[in-house]
Amino acid sequence: MQENFEEKIKLIHNILIAVSTGTNITPILNQNYAQLRSELLSSKYKDSLPIYVKSSLDLKQFWSVIKNESPTYQGRRDILNNDFLKLESLFNHNISEKYHIKILTKSKKKFYKCDMKFDELQKIVNSYHYADDLVVQGNTILASDIESISLRVSFEYFEIYEREAKVELDNERQQDLNNGIIVAFGYDVKSRAFSKLENVTDKFIVHPLGALRTKKPSELLTVKKGDTLKKIFISHAKKDKEIIEELIDLLESIGVNSTQIFCSSFEGYGIPLGDNFLDKIKQELSSEVLVLFVITNNFYESKVCLCEMGAAWALSKGHIPIVVPPLSYSDIQGVIPLTQGLLVNDVSKLNSLKEKLEQDFGLQQINLNSWERKRDKYIKNINKLID
């Protein structure tokens, strides 16, 4: 049985190498990947699989991740080979991924929790996203007192890295003494050990502290029961017109009427001739409007977009950031607070967006097969635009 899983790990490794180095994603290749991934996620090696295997339902999602990790074929090979070398070593050693967390409070106290399994880590991450108080080493850390949080991963127990760090610091201390230098605040062994490990904070912390306080996991911002929305305002940069056109088509396929969409770049969706631009935007941003921010580098360079963002926070019923790669969730932290967003090509989040719009606009649910076909076509077109 072990040899069987070893073979499956090698096969999925080879598939990912091929996709990362220019091989076209065919239905058969995608099907093989999905089958292998499903079997490995049901095995005892599930917690040790690379993050991008756990999170990528298909090869298109994997490609959207790996292409941003390195611009070269060799760089991507190195990343994959390094990750799978660790994984394949599990067949000869009883080791798995271990996660470690450091929390710095506003009072400058440090708290560590080390050698966690994936499920244990996920509970802490969820608590952080909901701004729940954390219990670490018997200490209760108030969410309001958290200054920063950092996550690391290793394949060995943390104490091994602590021992290595202690040896290094002892040598440095002795060298300082020989040179007549006395360090007043001592040497932080745990901090040194922690800094040596792979930083995976951005892979898990994807929402600002407390952003999900009033939401259920994987849900987008929802309107209170009994409230209704009348319009969608798409805030975007004109240079991203092609992406916006795909988004409009998707919204209309869900059932949103074209008269309910305000988008300044397209005739029939924007500002009529002769109307004052700023007055019209202010008029559209009412409490009955849901604002979709299409976040790109072009968006940040547009003064009009930034003005719309400020007005939306004050006037609109709700707002959702739609992040376009190569930007990621971590790039918008602190810019759009208290809102859970979605990647422009994320399958599960697009499904959530559809459900939200059906609920908030009172739309009739479309046939599931029809939706999946339109959604997948949209994702295919978007991926071509952002590749």
Domains of the chain: 2-91 (no CATH), 98-204 (no CATH), 231-386 (3.40.50.10140)
> In the predicted model, what is the mean pLDDT of the chain?
78
Residue 378 has pLDDT above 50, yes or no: yes
Portion of the chain with pLDDT greater than 70, in percent: 76
Exposure letters 12-42 (e unless 16+ CB within 10 A, then b) = bbebbbebbeeeebeeebbeebeebbeebee
Distance CA 333, CA 205 (A): 10
Distance CA 238, CA 264 (A): 8
294, 243 Cβ separation under 8 angstroms: yes
Which residues have CB under 8 Å from 374's CB, separation 6+? 250, 253
- Give 361 or 276, the one with higher predicted confidence: 361
Residue 203 has pLDDT above 80, yes or no: no
Of 286, 298, 161, which Cα lies nearest the Cα of 230? 286
**pLDDT, tens digit, for every residue of 1-11?**
344 777 888 88
Distance CA 285, CA 293 (A): 13
Paired with 154 in beta bridges are: 98
Please give the helix or strand (H or E) that residue 141 lies within, else none. Answer: strand 139-141
The reported pLDDT for the residue numbered 305 is 67
Residue type, 70: S
**Alpha-helix runs per DSSP H in the chain:** 2-20, 27-41, 51-55, 59-69, 73-88, 118-129, 158-178, 189-195, 201-204, 241-254, 277-284, 297-300, 303-315, 329-332, 347-360, 368-386
Q: In the β-sheet with 198-199, what is the strand arrangement from edge to edge?
A: 110-116, 98-105, 146-154, 198-199
- Give 142 or 85, the one with higher predicted confidence: 142
Distance CA 288, CA 33 (A): 44
The reported pLDDT for the residue numbered 222 is 46
Which residues have CB under 8 Å from 315's CB, separation 6+? 282, 285, 286, 287, 289
Residue 219 has pLDDT above 50, yes or no: no
Residue 21 has pLDDT above 80, yes or no: yes
Q: Which two tokens stand for residue 163?
A: 């021992």
The reported pLDDT for the residue numbered 278 is 46
Q: How confident is the model at residue 94 (pLDDT cuts 50, 70, 90)?
A: very low
Distance CA 199, CA 304 (A): 36
The reported pLDDT for the residue numbered 31 is 92
Q: Which of 308, 355, 358, 372 is catalytic?
A: 308
Distance CA 80, CA 355 (A): 36
- Give 187 or 109, the one with higher predicted confidence: 109
Question: Is 308 a residue of the active site?
Answer: yes
Q: How confident is the model at residue 223 (pLDDT cuts 50, 70, 90)?
A: very low
- Give 66 or 155, the one with higher predicted confidence: 66
348-371: average pLDDT: 83
Of 200, 185, 151, 191, which Cα lies nearest the Cα of 168? 191
- Give 313 or 383, the one with higher predicted confidence: 383
Please identify which residue in the block is written with the tokens 């995608």. Answer: 30
240-263: average pLDDT: 88
The reported pLDDT for the residue numbered 154 is 86
Distance CA 160, CA 187 (A): 17
- Give 287 or 207, the one with higher predicted confidence: 207
The reported pLDDT for the residue numbered 274 is 44
Please identify which residue in the block is written with the tokens 């049985």. Answer: 1
Q: Which two tokens stand for residue 266?
A: 């397209």
Question: Which region among 68-82, 298-312, 328-342 has the lowest average model confidence (pLDDT)?
Answer: 328-342
Please identify which residue in the block is written with the tokens 């108080």. Answer: 133
pTM over 0.75: no
Of 154, 141, 155, 144, which Cα lies nearest the Cα of 112? 141
**pLDDT, tens digit, for every residue of 313-324?**
555 557 788 888
Which residues have CB under 8 Å from 214's CB, separation 6+? none
**pLDDT, tens digit, for every residue of 125-146?**
878 877 888 888 778 888 888 8
208-218: average pLDDT: 54
The reported pLDDT for the residue numbered 273 is 43
Residue 327 has pLDDT above 50, yes or no: yes
